[in-house]
Amino acid sequence: MLPKGFLFDFDGVVVDSKESHYSAWASAFRELFNTEIAPFPKAHAGKSPMIIAEYFCSVIGEEKRAEELFFLKDSHLDKYFKIPKLLPGVREFTTLLSEEKIPYGIASNATKQFLENSVHHLNLNFKTVFGVQDYIKPKPAPEAYILLAETLGFTTDDFKDIWVFEDSLTGTKAAKLAGMIPIGILTEHNEKELKGAGSVLVFPTLLEAYEHLTK
């Protein structure tokens, strides 16, 4: 039997959006500080945009302007929107879940506008999508996945039978804290790292997870 529900992170699970996000960070940083931005730190993958903004500003001693960078980056992400690359298995997965009438949705630490733009331009079948503005406490807090699951009609008793696809340690911890089943995707971290954070199973992409479930 398939799990009762499937929840998806977005960046690194549904799409490869590194170029989309980093180019927006870089252009916003250049506009704000008239200098080049630092390389993106792998340890910050999956974290909220505000934490990432704080990091980039701290590199040049401008921590007090992190909120300004956060909002400007969001503006650049929308204004200079770059369609992210769709990762393998997404359409197969959403088709299967729609046919089986299994609830599913996205909960991401990315901004809502970026998620909605991406879903629209890639013509993805995700009706329920939550971004960082929808939470009081973003991942690694469990709120994002609890909110999504409850919106899809699940109760706390159902959580132990819900799969959550994550590529970041931040999101994996959030899924585990929510009492759900974290499933790792090997985009940012290796199998040992993901399982150490709580992933029960690990797959290269959603395509291999789909094949595992449909065999």
At 101, list the tokens.
């009438």
Domain count across the chain? 2
At 49 the pLDDT is: 86
Q: Which pLDDT tens digit goes with each residue over 86-144?
A: 999 999 999 999 999 999 999 999 889 899 999 999 999 999 999 999 999 999 999 99
CB 28 within 8 A of CB 70: no
**Angle at alpha carbon of residue 28, lines to 22 and 30, rounded to 5°:** 100
Q: Which pLDDT tens digit goes with each residue over 61-87?
A: 999 999 999 999 989 988 888 889 999
Measured CA to CA in angstroms, residue 95 lies from 19, 33, 126, 185 at distances of 27, 45, 10, 19
Q: Do residue 10 and residue 53 come from a single domain?
A: no
The pLDDT of residue 209 is above 80: yes
Q: Do residue 109 and residue 28 come from a single domain?
A: no
Q: Do residue 185 and residue 119 come from a single domain?
A: yes
Query: Domain boundary residue among 79, 108, 126?
Result: 79
The pLDDT of residue 46 is above 80: no
Q: Where are the beta strands (DSSP E) in the chain?
A: 5-8, 15-16, 85-86, 104-107, 129-130, 162-166, 181-185, 201-203
Three-state SS at 154: coil
Q: Look-up: residue for tokens 């039997």?
A: 1
Q: Do residue 121 and residue 166 come from a single domain?
A: yes
| pTM for this entry | 0.86
Confidence of residue 42 (pLDDT cuts 50, 70, 90): confident
Q: Which pLDDT tens digit goes with each residue over 136-185?
A: 999 999 999 999 999 999 999 999 999 999 999 999 999 999 999 999 99
Cα separation, 42 vs 28, whole angstroms: 20
Residue 42: Cβ within 10 Å count: 9
Q: Do residue 61 and residue 104 come from a single domain?
A: no
CATH code for the domain in which residue 93 is found: 3.40.50.1000
Q: Do residue 152 and residue 202 come from a single domain?
A: yes
pLDDT (mean) for 12-33: 92
Q: Do residue 27 and residue 49 come from a single domain?
A: yes
Query: Domain boundary residue among 79, 95, 114?
Result: 79
Q: Do residue 25 and residue 98 come from a single domain?
A: no
Q: Provide the domain limits for residue 161.
A: 5-16+84-214
